[in-house]
Amino acid sequence: MDIDVVRCRLSMARGRSKADLVFKNGRVVNVFTGEVVEADVAVSGDQIVGVGRYSGHREIDLQGRYLCPGFIDAHVHLESTMLAPARVVMSALARGTTTFIADPHEAANVAGLAGIKYILDQTENIPANVLVMMPSCVPATAEEDNGSHLSVHEMAEMAGHPRLLGLGEVMDFVSVIEGDADMFAKLDLFAGRAIDGHAPALSPEDLSAYVFSGIASDHEVDSFADALRKRRAGLQVLIRQGTAAHNLPDVVTGLLASGIDTAGFSFCTDDKDIIDIEREGHIDHNVRLAVALGLDPVKAIQMATINTARHYGLRRLGGIAPGYQADLLVLDDLRRLSVKAVFHRGREVTPGWPEVVRPTPEELKRSVKVAADFQNKLSLYSSGGDIRVIRLLEGQIVTSSEMASLEHRDGIALASKEYNKVAVIERHKGSGRVGVGFVAGFGLENAALATSVGHDSHNIIVVGDNDPDIIRAVEAIIAMQGGLAISSGGRTKMTLPLPVMGLISEETPAVVQSRLQEMKLLAKTLGVNENVDPFLTLSFIALPVIPELRITTRGLFDVIKRAYHY
């Protein structure tokens, strides 16, 4: 920093000259001590210079309102909102999230380094801190058919980027605990930096091996018991409350009952669509929900700010103190948590702040390449008897595996409302691979849903109770070069184009929100379980790193046994 600027700010900190901006008569949430302190906060440029009694060239009278640090989302996939990254950031920013620790592994699985560069480019020079974790598992597992392979040599090309924070969620836990050389080359590349985990259903011994490798956090926590054993192993627990996964109530309830230290816990959204962000909020919703469950408001705010900043080594974020970046929220109340104003680097982020969405490279709009004969590969042949099916679990992205008796005709298993057919169709290289299975708990009748958002390889995944509608929905996805589609009676009923990598719309948040809401409502009228988010739940059925049973382009995959059921 320029020494003249330093001296000027030192003078302001000492009260010998007026600060540029002073928040007067506020109640400051001190996340370092867990107190609420009546004080002024002095700001110069993008930094806080003092907390105490100050005067400024510009003063904002808070009239007893609360001032707290901007919230931090500890783990988020911006692509999962289906919006251009800058647009989703601005939407969440209005609700108090000023820092996003983004893992662009959705974009990377489709387009490799070009996908990561797209996320970085689209979030450059916007009024928020968007820090990126290098995707660690592209593809998620060796068995996956995705659009790209990201090697440690390619990672090294970008490792020095100023906004690259560390290594993203390490989903291939088998490679970690078995000491795979390529995996440890990636871990070594990011040694000393943040390394995120993804460790569902590991045994205590395997968890020890996983943590020994240098992985320091986990967001795949579906119960307090799971959170406790991972925290005891030294992991920072990122409590997820998104659209499909609602893990916060159980974890926070357990925290309250146990009384353990909350410093090792943070909040994240992971995957949250624009409807839920607009309807209930972003990280502010996590804080509100935790407080409603009985958590002390200041502790909840610590979990949304300083806990995360400390874990990720963000030394000047997450608190209100001299030298910290002036990312500040003005709140009316610590329980209702109504965000009245948001400041990033000392500047108020107003609704009229210019929205910058940069042009998308044309090659990222040509990602859907499906073999012409996919329609001929949608049958599951069976000799009769029970068939293994995927069972959805409400409010979770984990599934269970069960045996079920399905109707058969000419040796082919038939779908029904109770047991919908689910298929994953390779869409990156036109290989012709199609995996077929059945899922219980979706409930579609005379209809099908399809999406090109299929975590994490993002092939086309479709579910329905009859082949004509399944075929029609997939054809609609191909015609759009990615998106969501609903068909019924052999006709396309509704679509949402996602032309950027088959993941992202170029429309405004209002357009995407309205169309997605309409499609969810239509899905419910076609039989989808009221407690199932139709498209996000469908996308996770294809993710073979979350227990218990999944489906990929190669068939049903048992995550626990690491084997396919043929």
pLDDT digits (tens, 9 = 90+) for 507-562: 999 999 999 999 999 999 999 988 889 998 999 999 888 889 999 999 999 988 88
Q: For the segment 48-91, what is each residue's pLDDT rounded down to a tens digit?
A: 999 999 999 999 999 999 999 999 999 999 999 999 999 999 99
Separation of alpha carbons 114 and 549, rounded Å: 31
Angle in degrees, CA 380, 384, 385, rounded to 5: 115
Residue 115 in contact with residue 148, Cβ under 8 Å? yes
Q: Can you give the pLDDT at residue 383? A: 76
Separation of alpha carbons 102 and 93, rounded Å: 14
Q: Can you give the pLDDT at residue 353? A: 73
Q: Can you give the pLDDT at residue 222? A: 87
Distance of CA 3 to the CA centre of its chain: 41
Q: For the segment 148-195, what is each residue's pLDDT rounded down to a tens digit?
A: 999 999 999 999 999 999 999 999 999 999 999 999 999 999 999 999
The percentage of the chain sitting over the pLDDT mark of 90, rounded to a whole number, equals: 89
Task: Kindly state the average pLDDT of the residues 471-490.
Answer: 97
What DSSP string describes 157-201?
A: HHTT-TTEEEEEEE--HHHHHTT-HHHHHHHHHTTTSEEEE--TT
Separation of alpha carbons 461 and 452, rounded Å: 6
Coil vs helix vs strand at 356: coil
Please list, in sequence order, all residues whose beta carbon lies within 8 angstroms of the beta carbon of residue 3, skipping any fewer than 6 positions away: none
Residue 437 in contact with residue 550, Cβ under 8 Å? no
Task: Kindly state the average pLDDT of the residues 258-285.
Answer: 96
> DSSP state, 127?
S
What DSSP string describes 372-407?
A: TTGGGG---B--SSEEEEEEE-TT-S-EEEEEEE--
pLDDT exceeds cutoff 80 at 352: no
Q: How far is CA 131 from CA 160, 312, 318, 358, in A?
A: 13, 10, 14, 18
Coil vs helix vs strand at 76: strand
DSSP H helix total and E strand total for the chain? 17, 29
Separation of alpha carbons 265 and 287, rounded Å: 12
Residue 547 in contact with residue 399, Cβ under 8 Å? yes
Residue 556 in contact with residue 389, Cβ under 8 Å? no
Strand 129-134 with 97-102, pairing: parallel
Q: Can you give the pLDDT at residue 348? A: 96
Maximum pairwise Cα distance, the chain: 89
Return mean pLDDT, the chain. 95
pLDDT band at 9 (very low <50, low <70, confident <90, very high): very high
Separation of alpha carbons 267 and 249, rounded Å: 12
- If you search the block for the tokens 């091996």, which residue do you land on? 209
Query: Radius of gyration of the chain from Cα atoms?
Result: 24
Residue 317 in contact with residue 298, Cβ under 8 Å? no
pLDDT band at 354 (very low <50, low <70, confident <90, very high): low
pLDDT exceeds cutoff 70 at 294: yes
pLDDT band at 446 (very low <50, low <70, confident <90, very high): very high
Report the CATH fold assignment for 71-311.
TIM Barrel (3.20.20)
Q: Which region holds residue 310: left if phi is over 0, alpha if psi is between -120 and 50, else beta?
A: alpha
pLDDT exceeds cutoff 70 at 406: yes
Residue 316 in contact with residue 323, Cβ under 8 Å? yes
Residue 325: other Cβ atoms inside 10 A: 23
pLDDT band at 92 (very low <50, low <70, confident <90, very high): very high
Instruction: Return phi, psi of residue 222, to 5°.
Output: -105, 5
Strand 447-451 with 460-464, pairing: antiparallel
Residue 432: other Cβ atoms inside 10 A: 15
Instruction: Return phi, psi of residue 79, to 5°.
Output: -65, -25
For the question of whether the overall pTM of this predicted structure is more than 0.75, the answer is yes
Separation of alpha carbons 203 and 449, rounded Å: 36
Identity of the amino acid at 167 = L
Domain residue limits, the chain: 71-311, 363-565
User: Which residues on neighbouring strands pair with residue 504, listed in sequence order?
Assistant: 500
Residue 13: closest CA among 42, 33, 37, 35: 42
CA atoms within a 13 Å half-sphere pointing along the CA-CB vector of 40: 23
Task: Kindly state the average pLDDT of the residues 25-44.
Answer: 98
pLDDT band at 140 (very low <50, low <70, confident <90, very high): confident
Strand 386-392 with 339-344, pairing: unpaired
Task: Kindly state the average pLDDT of the residues 183-208.
Answer: 95
Tell whether omega for the bond before 270 is within 30 degrees of 0, i.e. cis: no
Residue 60: closest CA among 85, 30, 25: 25
- Name the burial class of residue 236, with classes exposed (0-12), middle (13-18) and buried (19+) by CB atoms within 10 angstroms of its CB: buried
Residue 7: other Cβ atoms inside 10 A: 10
Coil vs helix vs strand at 121: helix
Q: Dihedral through CA 71, CA 75, CA 81, CA 83, nearest 10?
A: 80
Q: Can you give the pLDDT at residue 400? A: 94
Task: Kindly state the average pLDDT of the residues 247-257.
Answer: 97
Task: Kindly state the average pLDDT of the residues 350-364.
Answer: 83
Separation of alpha carbons 462 and 449, rounded Å: 6
Q: Can you give the pLDDT at residue 566? A: 61
Separation of alpha carbons 422 and 470, rounded Å: 9
Angle in degrees, CA 282, 30, 311, rounded to 5: 60
Q: Can you give the pLDDT at residue 395? A: 76
Separation of alpha carbons 456 and 148, rounded Å: 11
Identity of the amino acid at 157 = E
Identity of the amino acid at 526 = L
